[in-house]
């Protein structure tokens, strides 16, 4: 399969091309010639090549909409906003657990490595963290945790769920660690846009907005 076709197929199914999930394609996309050809392939379908980060060397590529004149495109955007709404709470609950277990105001920025051994060690040593992990099962994305045998199994299932959704990738085939992808950066960017243009900065959303800004209120 050509790189052009591979890029188009990933982008058109709502995927993201970043240095962590698709390192070879991301490097190829930094070549202006391939980026132009991808853009040309998207335009007849009413899409544009969008990016996150420095315009000259983007961190993440994804497909945006050229306009919202079409009812079908408006419906697709509405579905994406619904998806975003449904992801916010479970993601922030996991980030809050991660941040507290790490003992610092960190958040899951693209490229950050999540250490399974360090996380489970903190969870096993603190009943509050263990409860936060079990509570994740209340979210649809983490539903598989409900049948886990123990904390280690629960954490493994939580990380697998985030991997299945494209927010994490394995650091390598031999490692139990994970790396955060550009899809997580897209969620933060979208939250920032909603906050800026729709004035959602109400008290009940402080945790969400803190996450967008790069930290959590602990």
pLDDT band at 211 (very low <50, low <70, confident <90, very high): very low
Question: What tens digit of pLDDT does each residue of 31-48 get?
Answer: 889 999 999 999 999 999
Is 217 part of a structural domain of the chain? no
Q: Give pLDDT, residue 210.
A: 45
Residues 89 and 194 in one domain: yes
**Can you name the residues that pair with 179 across neighbouring β-strands?**
113, 169
Q: Do both 95 and 169 map to the same domain? A: yes
Domain stop point among 65, 85, 119: 65
- The yes-or-no verdict on residue 101 having pLDDT over 80 is yes
Helix (H) / strand (E) element for 94: namely: helix 71-102
Domain ends where: 21, 38, 65? Answer: 65
Counting Cα atoms < 13 Å in the Cβ hemisphere of 175 gives 11
- pLDDT of 16 above 60: yes
Where is average pLDDT lowest: 55-59, 110-114, 188-192? 188-192
Q: Answer yes or no: is 138 within a domain.
A: yes
- Regarding whether 171 and 204 lie in a shared domain, the answer is yes
| Residue 194: inside a domain | yes
Based on the fold, state whether residues 60 and 79 are members of the same structural domain: no
Give a yes or no: residue 165 inside a domain. yes
Torsion of CA 156, 159, 160, 164, to 10 degrees: 170
> What average pLDDT score do residues 146-153 get?
95
Identify whether residues 124 and 207 lie together within a single domain: yes
- Judged by average pLDDT, the poorest of 153-157, 169-173, 206-210 is 206-210
Residues 95 and 167 in one domain: yes
User: Same domain, yes or no, for 77 and 61?
Assistant: no
Same domain, 48 and 77: no
Domain total for the chain?
2
Same structural domain for residues 54 and 118?
A: no
Give residue 217's pLDDT.
41
- Which of 41, 65, 89 marks a domain boundary? 65
pLDDT for the residue numbered 218: 34
Percent of the chain with pLDDT over 90: 64
User: Among the listed ranges 35-49, 106-120, 154-168, which one has the minimum average pLDDT value?
Assistant: 106-120
Looking at the structure, do residues 169 and 204 belong to the same domain, yes or no?
yes
Cα-Cα-Cα-Cα dihedral sign, residues 162, 164, 170, 173 = positive
CB of 48 closer than 8 Å to CB of 93: no
Same domain, 161 and 87: yes
Share of the chain above pLDDT 70, in %: 88
By residue range, what is the domain housing residue 39?
A: 3-65
pLDDT score of 176:
87
111 and 197 co-located in one domain: yes
């Amino acid at each position: 399969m050509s790189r052009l076709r591979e890029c188009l197929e990933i982008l058109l199914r709502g995927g993201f091309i970043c240095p962590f999930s698709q390192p070879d394609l991301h490097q190829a996309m930094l070549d202006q010639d391939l980026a132009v050809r991808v853009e040309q392939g998207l335009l007849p379908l009413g899409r544009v090549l969008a990016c996150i980060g420095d315009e000259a060397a983007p961190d993440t590529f994804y497909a945006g909409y050229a306009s919202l004149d079409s009812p079908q495109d408006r419906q697709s955007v509405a579905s994406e906003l619904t998806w975003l709404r449904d992801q916010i709470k479970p993601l922030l609950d996991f980030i809050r657990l991660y941040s507290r277990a790490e003992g610092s105001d960190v958040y899951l920025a693209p490229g950050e490595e999540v250490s399974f051994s360090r996380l489970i060690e903190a969870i096993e040593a603190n009943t509050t963290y263990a409860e936060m992990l079990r509570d994740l099962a209340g979210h649809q994305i983490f539903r598989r945790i409900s049948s886990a045998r123990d904390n280690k199994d629960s954490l493994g299932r939580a990380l697998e769920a985030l991997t299945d959704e494209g927010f994490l990738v394995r650091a390598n085939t031999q490692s139990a660690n994970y790396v955060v992808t550009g899809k997580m950066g897209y969620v933060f960017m979208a939250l920032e846009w909603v906050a800026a243009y729709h004035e959602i900065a109400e008290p009940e959303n402080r945790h969400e907005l803190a996450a967008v800004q790069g930290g959590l209120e602990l």
